[in-house]
Amino acid sequence: MSKPGKTTVDLKEAPRASRIRRDPVTSEKPQGLVSKVYFQSRGWEIGLAIIGIVGFAVALNIIWIALSAWVKL
């Protein structure tokens, strides 16, 4: 239902989508630097996590032994 005094407009069909297939856009990164840098972050993260957990456990054991030697029951 339209407002009084307004004329209706016939809408056209939507234009068809373009069928042209394009090549993907290339990145502007310098390929020489990217190919030389290789860092295995997953391996480093796992190794550092294990070292941190073992170090924390050793520190707690040292504190426990020091306190038990200091406090004689």
Q: Which residues contact residue 8 at a Cβ distance below 8 angstroms, ignoring those fewer than 6 apart?
A: 2
Distances (CA, A) of 48 to 51, 57, 63: 5, 14, 22
pLDDT of residue 43: 82
Q: How confident is the model at residue 2 (pLDDT cuts 50, 70, 90)?
A: low
Mean confidence (pLDDT) of the chain: 78
Cα dist. 59→11, 27, 46, 56, 68 in Å? Answer: 77, 48, 20, 5, 14
pLDDT of residue 11: 78
pLDDT at site 60: 97
pLDDT in tens, 19-47: 676 666 666 665 565 555 566 678 888 99
- pTM of the predicted protein model: 0.43
Locate the domains of the chain by residue range: 41-73
